Amino acid sequence: MRTDTSVPVRLEDYRPPAFIIDTVELDIRLSPQATRVSARLTIRRAPDAPADAPLVLDGDELELAGLTLDGRALAADDFSATPQRLEIFKVPDGPFVLDIETRLDPDANTKLMGLYRSNGTYCTQCEAEGFRRITYFQDRPDCLSVYTTRLEARASEAPVLLANGNPVASGPVEGTDRHFAVWHDPHPKPSYLFAMVAGDLARVSDSFTTADGREVALNIFVEHGNEAACDWAMDSLKRSMRWDEEAFGRVYDLDVFNIVAVSDFNMGAMENKGLNIFNDKYVLARPDTATDQDYAGIEAVIAHEYFHNWTGNRITCRDWFQLCLKEGLTVFRDQEFSSDMRSRPVKRISDVRLLKSHQFPEDAGPLAHPVRPRQYHEINNFYTATVYEKGAEVVRMLKTLVGPEDFRAGMDLFFERHDGEATTIEAFLACFAEASGRDLAQFALWYEQAGTPALSVESRYDQAAGTLTLDISQRTPATPGETRKQAMHIPLRVGLVGPDGSDMPPADVSGMEHGDDVLHLRDGRHQVVFSGLAEQPVPSLLRGFSAPVTLSSNLADADYLFLAANDSDPFNRWDALQRVVMNTLIAASASVARGQMPRLPNGLADALGASASDASLEPAFRALCLQLPGEADIAREIGHDVDPDAIHAARAWLRRSLSDALSPVLLGLYRDMAPDGPFSPEADAAGRRALRNVLLEYLGHGSVPEAGDLVTAQFQAADNMTDRLAALTVLVHAGLHGSEEALAAFEARHGSTPLAMDKWFMVQATAPHEGTLDRVRALTAHPGFSAGNPNRVRALIGAFATGNQSQFNRIDGAGYIFVADFVEELDTRNPQAAARLMSAFRSWRALEGRRRGLAEARLRAMASRKDLSVDLADIVTRCLQ
Ligand code: B3K
Ligand code: ZN
């Protein structure tokens, strides 16, 4: 048990728990400021545990109100209790019953961990270490128990009483205005999956018949008035349940599956057994208030939480270092689900964009850590893009390496062998090694070694020999605490594209281990020779983004434009275009910094125009081709001495130049993509909107005279949030005539819908204008803003800090001061939210000197404070390391 948080928790120190807690019976008598929790635990000493070890339970800000062992009160010198810890010096070995009573104040719980109230609804969040804020417990994921929960509350205050598992009893508490409900969860689970909800909520119900013929009651609970906004979430849930049966053979295992949407929630959602609790952003959707991205996000998060029922709940993590065992794997599963529901190439491109924009900078900066970290000060700071997104890429590579059949066999073995256990990455990998007969020892390094491997490929064609030779090398840059890196096992998917644009299979491949089209890189350097090539092909490297690496090669922009027009691999077709765009932006940013005029390379506008108008491609894909990398993406590629103003100017220049070069094409396409039927949230219709709105962005930022009217007309005519928000964003960001009126109209329309107002905050916070910081500061006093609500904080302050590179990184340092001041204030109320917001500073070392100095000064000032939360202190300290 840890009381000194200055000492990190280390993977190598793992020891199994000293006690087994077979059952937990909770009786929670709810009251806004004085909730009483009675916990009855059946405990026995673990077989291998030392006979005299005391019973030590975790707590966090707890108040002990009663304690008995086997019904007898303990004497004062039999135990010690602090808010953080309960120790009973002598306990029997055999099963004994411990009764603990604690008192909680849900209203005062602004950390949103443990039991708190959101808009009057009692709810819980226990992952990672929130259960210890409810009662004293061995609050660790390898302590599995069967839970029975009795809830009691005033009937008028909380007509709905929910907990994990199946309902077993309910009724009035005679002679009072209170009522109760009892829930029982037969599946042993770790405490982080405990949940309860009580409140006055509306219910939307449906049902699902499992593959083995059982009827499952499905319910979504929301605030009254939001019932009509649950259809998409319910539909997504049913599709997820069916898909998991078909794709992974996983069937649901309780009589009910409940989802509750709350408005104050630190992250997206939580997979508590049988009772998922969601940030309302990932449940509520109406065409008027939710964008296509919101619909896709709901579908993915509903699926993700549902899939955790097997990967996370039935099979859980032995310790928090194994977090990627459930998160990386479950992200992989939800990505596959969305690929099957939508377009696979579009989903892959979106996922890689996200990986590159969120995970690559993490891996390249001071917060870099392995997919399975080896130590932490605060586990909540490790719910990162590395654990989630890179973790999913590792599972995807595993599938590429062993092939789809052996991958499925490995998954089946994992489910069969480890069901009901808390296990490890080693155990997971062993299933695939066994199912495929492959040695995965080197592959396991992906879990151990931080940093993004850099691949470099030199290709040369020998006409006389008919061969194409690739000289490939890999190098992983140093990361904090890890200077020497080993070579990784990297699957490199490769194709050769012939002069006529079609794939050109070689007669032979020599020099290294390979599958059909996958090269197995295992060493620092490789040479591979493709032979039997009568004509010179262009190599298409890293198809489908077969590994989370950076790739440089000796291919020229002309080769990439050729691939952009011809590659049979849709991912690489998109990627090829992006590479030329990125090269152009990097060169342009350097020109701008030198005070020179940038240059549009030959063929780029035509290539983009051709991709945008190619009717054989789906509109969503064409939209992605047109979408320019963000300013933070450009900064990431430049990597050092970053000048955010030059990057902003370069990107604005390229957008304007392309717009002007292509304006007739863009205008024509914009008209072609007009809605062709009533609104539908499905992928095809969303793809048309995505294309139309990226066209609108180009037009609005170009010099076509009618563009302003076009944008205003779309804003006024839009019958859905996607189109309305896209138009509003162009109006505000391009500073077009009528932008203030449009903001006012949006506010008038959506002022009482907080999730829609988040978009209004976000549009203003991301405007790349001199006055934005003042505006953001003023908006913190807007009645719709609340620093206590994580969604509002993300929409206004988070969007400014991470989505507005030029203004957050203002040359006068005012952006840093504003965000850091806000973070310090937020830290007193919600440390998790504060720590997350502060990670916006993580790339400070890559900035040019002046900004670097200003950001560092603000970080150091924060680091010198003695009153920071563990969460925030951990981020600040690591940012400075
Ligand atoms: N498992 C939760 C995240 C919990 C975060 C705790 N700080 C949601 C998810 O990944 O599904
Ligand atoms: Zn998850």
**What distance in Å separates the CA atoms of residue 178 and residue 156, rounded to the nearest whole number?**
8
Residues above pLDDT 90, as percent of the chain: 98
Q: Are residues 36 and 152 in the same domain?
A: yes
How many domains does the chain divide into? 4
Asked whether residue 379 falls in the same domain as residue 528, the answer is no
Using the atom order of ligand 1, give the atom closest to the CA of residue 305. 11
pLDDT higher than 80, residue 5: no
Residue 4: its pLDDT value, please?
Answer: 64
- Do 555 and 534 sit in the same domain of this protein? no
> What's the chain's average pLDDT?
98
Cis before 128? omega within 30: yes
439 in any annotated domain: yes
Residue 723 lies in a domain: no
Q: Are residues 533 and 389 part of one domain?
A: no
Q: Is 383 in the pocket of ligand 1 (CB under 6 A)?
A: yes
Q: Is 305 in the pocket of ligand 1 (CB under 6 A)?
A: yes
CATH of the domain at 595: 1.25.50.10
Q: What is the CATH number of the domain that holds 50?
A: 2.60.40.1730
Residues 489 and 585 grouped into a single domain: no
Task: Give the CA-trace dihedral at 224, 230, 234, 237, to 10 degrees.
Answer: -100
How many whole angstroms separate alpha carbon 181 and alpha carbon 165?
12
Q: What is the pLDDT of residues 842-867, one digit of tens each?
A: 999 999 999 999 999 999 999 999 99
Task: Tell me the pLDDT band of 2, cut-offs 50, 70 and 90.
Answer: low
pLDDT tens-digit readout, 480-506:
999 999 999 999 999 999 999 999 999
- Atom in ligand 1 nearest the alpha carbon of residue 266: 7
Examine residue 118 and state whether it is found in any structural domain, yes or no: no
For residue 8, the one-letter residue type is: P
What is the C-alpha to C-alpha distance for residues 190 and 877, in angstroms, rounded to an integer? Answer: 31
333 shares a domain with 433? yes
* Angle at 566 (CA atoms; ends 563, 570), nearest 5 degrees: 80
Q: Tell me the β-bridge partners of 495.
A: 540
Domain boundary pick from 532, 547, 562:
547
What is the rounded average pLDDT of the residues 709-735? 98
pLDDT tens track for 213-239:
999 999 999 999 999 999 999 999 999
Residue 260 forms part of a structural domain: no
Question: Does 475 lie in the same domain as 410?
Answer: no
597 & 673 share domain: yes
CATH number at residue 479: 2.60.40.1840
Mean pLDDT of 136-162: 99
CB-based contacts of 721, cutoff 8 Å, min separation 6: 287, 288, 289, 290, 291, 294, 756, 759
Q: Are 506 and 522 in the same domain? A: yes
What tens digit of pLDDT does each residue of 819-845 get?
999 999 999 999 999 999 999 999 999
Residue 755 lies in a domain: no
Q: Which of 223, 271, 305, 378 is catalytic?
A: 305
For 458-484, write each residue's pLDDT tens digit.
999 999 999 999 999 999 999 999 999
Same-domain status, 636 and 573: yes
pLDDT at 525: 98
- The CB-side HSE value for 698 (13 A sphere, CA atoms) comes to 30
Residue 639 lies in a domain: yes
* pLDDT tens-digit readout, 651-707: 999 999 999 999 999 999 999 999 989 999 999 999 999 999 999 999 999 999 999
* Cα 157 off chain centre by: 34
CB 795 within 8 A of CB 833: no
In a domain, 173, yes or no: yes
Beta bridge partners of 459: 470
Top mutation candidate among 132, 193, 266, 271 for ligand 1, by most atoms within 8 Å of CB: 271
Report the predicted TM-score, pTM, of the whole model to 2 decimal places.
0.99
Domain boundary among 512, 547, 582: 547
CATH of the domain at 407: 1.10.390.10
For ligand 1, say whether the CB of 311 is within 6 Å of any of its atoms. no
- The last residue of a domain, from among 407, 424, 448: 448
Give a yes or no: residue 410 inside a domain. yes
856 is catalytic: no
Kindly state whether residues 360 and 420 are assigned to the same domain. yes
**Segments forming the whole domain that contains residue 678:** 549-704
Same structural domain, 59 and 193? yes
Q: How many CB atoms lie within 10 A of CB 657?
A: 18
Q: Considering every ligand atom, which ligand is closest to the CA of 111?
A: 1
